[in-house]
A and B are shown apart, each in its own frame.
Chain A
Amino acid sequence: MQKEQQFVKLIKEHEGILYKVTSIYSDNKADQQDLYQEIVFNLWKSFDSFRGDSKWSTWMYRIAMNTSITHSKKKKKSGYKVNLDHVVLREADAYDETFEEQLKQLYEHIKELNVIEKGLILLLLEGKKYEEIALITGLSPTNVGTRISRIKKKLKKQVRH
């Protein structure tokens, strides 16, 4: 199988990861599209270095989150403006109103967190164990545990307000 085909196949199998990461780290659709492209580009650039030692999804999370964090910092620093391109991100056309409202609330809570915490909560919501989160983020499992309990406290505080 050609390199491009293999890449597309893997992206296709795990595209949900890209959608979820970009939705957490962007403020609007144009920004999400731009971040999505940046992540795919970085994944493609480093595709040769993926040796299969870790799971493809773990590697994908790592690149996606690193790209998103850099993207967020860059945006904050320079008021980075994005241009709309051809990528059309999926529309949430199948959602019902109640679900849409819940999703909105969920994103509002997440937006209150800092860039690192956003990544950690994303992985926690994805059902990842502390060890895997540590592998993706490069933090130690204990540090992951500490940070996550801090996030939980923050979230509780948000709910109370």
Chain B
Amino acid sequence: MNLEEMKSTWATLSGQLEKQQKLTDTLIMQMTQQRYQNKIGVISFYESLGAVICVAMAAFILFNFNRLDDGLHVALGVYTLLVLIGLPAMVLWSIKRLKQINVFESSYKETITNFNKRRRFFLLVQKLGVAFAYPMFFGSMPVFSKVMGNKSMFENGGSVGLYVFIGIWTIAMFFFVRWGYSKYKNITNSAAKILEDLNDDN
């Protein structure tokens, strides 16, 4: 094969390549999937961190559960444990469902429908989290007072400082939860936008 023949074969190859488009479609899908995973990865990171803290707190209560010596403390302890373990588990599960969205496996319509369904569930879990967080916060204080210092808040009452702390923490938590929820909503909105872009690209 001489150089001229090589050139002619190469030109035919170039012509064939012009006609096909399989490669870039795959590339676009890959980039979309990657960008989508990155968005969900942000939520996953913070929630996993939160889950580790919750599980550590639950483990601490469990190891000192014998210090809860009356019915009220035991009930509050069980409630705190349930929330500390159950809520992060539900949140992580809802994130896992979001992560499982795969643009390679289903059609555009199915992807969007699946995503919207899972996103609604994720945001519902977040709202549930808020609903449980306040009762847990107040309910866990006597529990922690018992397991950490073996003191009953119901018998000894609390200091002025403690009540000021509770007041400030309640307000701060309100703003934090609102901020966190809107942040998650924005992230899932932009993840939705990435998936919607698939339609424009194709």
1/0 contact string of B21-48 vs chain A (CB within 8 Å): 1111011101100010000000000000
Interface of A (DSSP majority class): helix
- Contact indicator A102/B5 (Cβ below 8 Å): yes
1/0 contact string of A14-33 vs chain B (CB within 8 Å): 01101110000000000000
- Contact indicator A4/B31 (Cβ below 8 Å): yes
Given A15-B24, A19-B23, A90-B20: A103 in contact with B2 (beta carbons within 8 A)? no
Contacting residues, chain A, for B22 (C-beta < 8 A):
88, 90-91
- Contact indicator A88/B23 (Cβ below 8 Å): yes
| Interface size, chain B (Cβ < 8 Å) | 29
- Contact indicator A125/B104 (Cβ below 8 Å): no
Given A8-B28, A8-B201, A159-B1: A125 in contact with B10 (beta carbons within 8 A)? yes
Alpha-carbon gap, A21 to B25, bound state (A): 19
Alpha-carbon gap, A4 to B133, bound state (A): 40
Q: Which stretch (B11-19, B108-116, B142-150) binds chain A?
A: B11-19
- A152 interfacial contact with B, CB 8 Å: yes
1/0 contact string of B187-202 vs chain A (CB within 8 Å): 0000000000100010
- Number of CB contacts from chain A to chain B under 8 A: 81
* Most chain A beta-carbon neighbours within 10 Å: one of B24, B26, B27: B27
- B6 interfacial contact with A, CB 8 Å: yes
Contacting residues, chain B, for A159 (C-beta < 8 A):
1-2
Alpha-carbon gap, A127 to B7, bound state (A): 8
* Most chain A beta-carbon neighbours within 10 Å: one of B1, B7, B18: B1
User: What's the least CB distance linking A8 to chain B, in Å?
Assistant: 6
Contacting residues, chain B, for A156 (C-beta < 8 A):
2
Query: Contact residues of A with B, CB < 8 Å?
Result: 4-5, 8, 11-12, 15-16, 18-20, 40, 86-92, 94-95, 99, 102-103, 105-106, 109, 121, 125-127, 152, 155-156, 159
Query: Contact residues of B with A, CB < 8 Å?
Result: 1-3, 5-7, 9-10, 12-14, 16-24, 26-28, 30-31, 35, 104, 197, 201
